[in-house]
Amino acid sequence: MFWALGSIYGATAVAFGAFGAHGLKKRAGMDAQKLASWNTAAHYQLVHSGMILLTAAAAPKNKVAAGLFAAGITCFSGSIYLLTLDPQRFRALGPVTPIGGLFLIGGWVALAVGSRGRILPKAS
């Protein structure tokens, strides 16, 4: 499940990044700060999509880390996308962004704790 989710999040990160670079620039009222926020969301989504894939491959039993990365992408990047597109309509999502950031941090911590000191997988 996490492999598919990481792949979908990765593909949509590229699509959202392209939309930000091309489509949003043409929207009236889209200032440089909003474009920068959109790009940050796409960047974090892409990086953490890769982490979901890496976790699914290298630490498949660490569902906590993969789940936290997925929740973090949804909350962090998702809220930024919506706030960039329509800040008045989605203003209630403002507090969701830092919660998503905490989920992303939690995913990294879960990887560290789940490794139990291992840096590389044991050779078979």
Give me the mean pLDDT over the 85-102 stretch: 96
Number of Cβ atoms within 10 Å of the Cβ of 15? 11
What share of the chain has pLDDT > 90, as a percent? 81
d(CA 55, CA 78): 21
User: What's the rounded Cα separation, in Å, for the pair 109 and 115?
Assistant: 10
pLDDT at position 27, please? 76
Does pLDDT of 112 surpass 70? yes
pTM recorded for the entire structure:
0.89
Q: Which of the four pLDDT bands, split at 50, 70 and 90, describes residue 118?
A: low
Q: Is the pLDDT of residue 117 over 60?
A: no
Mean pLDDT of 52-65: 94
At 97, which helix (H) or strand (E)? helix 96-115
